[in-house]
Structure 1
Amino acid sequence: MWEYLIHGEPTPRLKPFLEGVGKALEAQGFRHNPESEAPNLVLNAITPENPRPYRRRAQATFVASVLELPEFPQDPLRELYPYLVRALSNVLLAYVPGQGVKFLTLELGHYGEPEGKGFYERVAARLRPIACSRLVINNIFEPDLEPELWQGDELTESMYRAGKKLKEWDLLPAPFPIEEILPPEDLRHVKRLYGIGGLSYGNLSVRKDEKRFWMSASGVDKANLREIGRDILMVKDYDPERNAILLSVPPHVEPRRVSVDAIEHWMIYREHPEVGAILHVHAWMEGVPATAFNYPCGTYELAQAVADKVREAPDPARAVVGLKNHGLTITGRSLDEILERIEGKLIRTVPMA
């Protein structure tokens, strides 16, 4: 049984919205438990003056912060994203009474649901995949990387070149300055719970051998991927019992965490030996097959949804998969080959639905 609770002090017009969404969640299999210490979903009422966070006790808790506004902003990313971060949210719901709600995700997705028939049911249906997802973001670092790889190899050099090319194409948004928005106490809480060092967008990887692959780290400048263990890491496996990504690192380096999409890349490489590289960008291409739900990054469900689409492709080694309201995952024989295929074909604005 999935559990949810409502947190914070909702405004008079926000309270019936939260109650309506709650009833719709209950109709979709959730149970309201205000005493739960590890609910699957928290509806966190905030205000612009006080975007107070709900302090999770477990990674499995997803927080949807809800903010009442008099009108929708012209630029939702610029104006609303700081509230999402300050409230330590997985997703932000900006609600304008009489008009509807806009969703904003950590991955820069933003989309809306207008008020009208089935409004609460539609909002609950948007939240359900988020609340029922399972994060795979724990890293286990093992200082066993071969000394001859401590300075990288020709494959990591190809990652450096690819990052430079993505920068030239203006496909690498600057890492979000989370440390400038969160006070030190909240930043420590986020790092302790999720182990993140920052927010950045896009990632790339390249196969090393049958089981291992190099992958970009989390929260780093993808246009300057140089240091092994800090900018680029060796992923060697996924441990389902510990629900963690296993990484080989040099013994003398304090490593950064690997990209949260490592579980997705791991699934694709294990199933398709012919795939030599994977690129993820926040862009789009016309006519690509896309995942059905907006699962959060770093979840097993998103990885599975993308892996399913790769499997269905005519050639899994040259697949282009759309991640709903998010971007693209592209497979290839090498990063150079991927970049050659997609040059001039990318649309920088991801369609929102």
Structure 2
Amino acid sequence: MIEVRTQPEAPVFTIVGQPSPNLADLLPALKSVFEAHGYRYEEAPEFPRLVLNCITPASPKPYRRKAQGTLVVSLLELSSIPSEPISTLYPYLVRALSNQLVVLTPDQQAHFLTLELGYYVEPEGPDFVERLYRRIQPIASSVLVVNNRFEADLEPELWQGDSCTQALSWAGAKLAEWDLLPAPFPLEEILSPEDLRHIKRLYGIGGLSYGNLSIRKDAQRFWMSASGVDKSRMREVGRDFLLVKGYDPQTNDIVLSVPPGVTPRRVSVDAIEHWMIYREHPSVGAIIHIHAWMDEAPSTQFNYPCGSYQLAEAVAEKVREAPDPSQAVVGLKNHGLTLTGPTLEDIFSRIEGRLLKQVPMS
């Protein structure tokens, strides 16, 4: 078990924004459910654990977090759900700088959307508000591990890369060939420059792109793709590839070796997940994460956010339970797959022709 900072015994939450009439009717019951589960409500806390942010279609106003540990769930009421919900609703989620968007409709259905493109529906019926809580709780309880600490101590012989980075370039091109690299979501097109700087500073992202790859360098270190990079065109050490050398539980930092004189990109937010797997299983030589699915893949139970300790721990547990952890296939609920192998080539040979591009949502 890794020591990380976790939420306090009575995490603080608050409600902000201007709710629509139906949302205003729902909020007291939702507030009571959170309090019944141990959350403490405050009117205007400086560092809340969870913010329920009421937005409108005309004004998806963001809550301006002061700390990375604050998770925001935005609540929106619409008269109906559009025919293309993800592409239509995703801009609301991003404009409101949310970790999760919950859209309520007059028939009392709740439609959930996450940054990782998870989309699922909670229907009307008994215990509706309790079920809303259960969907929000995995987001609200998560501890993000996305800080990077760059140390300019990379060996000179690795400044131009090595056979491992060449293998990552090959694998990224292969994912593109298989059409498994969805286009990064264009944050800069829907966020103001100020909001873009704010979200990058808080969550250490270079953009929203989907999928990542890594390969073991030695017993302690691994190369991994950078956040937001075009994985079909990875070339430069410190910009496209990062060498992860550890995790510091005291500062909650992923620690990376980079060449001197390079302004590095940040490593993929899933680095903590890969670090856990490599540390526990010396036989794992490579890991791929993709937004696709395989029939009968064992799946994590909850839709935790990328970059969270909880998601990393849930995936690591499924790898541990696999008949052969060095060749594991793990489903991430409402999200995609994490696959381990002794080599990248081994992973591709095992999944070729077996992938489903549509991830099941539930």
Mapping of 1:1-353 within 5 angstroms?
1-353=10-362
Name segments (4+ residues, structure 1) moved above 3 Å.
Answer: none
Shift of 1:264: 0.2
Shift of 1:208: 0.2
Classify the secondary structure of the residue corresponding to 1:128. helix
Classify the secondary structure of the residue corresponding to 1:127. helix
Q: Assess if the C-alpha contact under 8 Å between 2:235 and 2:241 holds in 1.
A: yes
Looking at structure 1, the residues matched to 135 and 28 of structure 2 have their Cα atoms a distance apart, in angstroms, of 16
Which one-letter code corresponds to 1:26 in the other structure? E
Classify the secondary structure of the residue corresponding to 2:111. strand
Looking at structure 2, the residues matched to 102 and 269 of structure 1 have their Cα atoms a distance apart, in angstroms, of 36
C-alpha deviations, 1:139-189, integer Å up to 9, x for none? 000001011111111111111111111111111001111011101111121
Classify the secondary structure of the residue corresponding to 2:73. strand
Under a length normalisation based on structure 1, what TM-score does the superposition of the two structures give? 0.99
Q: Assess if the C-alpha contact under 8 Å between 2:176 and 2:232 holds in 1.
A: yes
Looking at structure 2, the residues matched to 157 and 65 of structure 1 have their Cα atoms a distance apart, in angstroms, of 42
Q: Structure 1: which 5+ runs fail to align?
A: none
Shift of 1:35: 2.3
Which one-letter code corresponds to 2:343 in the other structure? S
Looking at structure 2, the residues matched to 234 and 69 of structure 1 have their Cα atoms a distance apart, in angstroms, of 45
Looking at structure 2, the residues matched to 96 and 280 of structure 1 have their Cα atoms a distance apart, in angstroms, of 34
Match of 2:6 in 1: none
Q: Assess if the C-alpha contact under 8 Å between 2:205 and 2:269 holds in 1.
A: no
Under a length normalisation based on structure 2, what TM-score does the superposition of the two structures give? 0.96
Classify the secondary structure of the residue corresponding to 1:245. strand
Looking at structure 2, the residues matched to 3 and 114 of structure 1 have their Cα atoms a distance apart, in angstroms, of 28
Shift of 1:28: 1.6
Q: Assess if the C-alpha contact under 8 Å between 1:18 and 1:43 holds in 2.
A: no
Question: What's the RMSD between the two structures over aligned residues?
Answer: 0.8
Classify the secondary structure of the residue corresponding to 1:21. helix
Classify the secondary structure of the residue corresponding to 2:21. coil
Shift of 1:195: 2.3
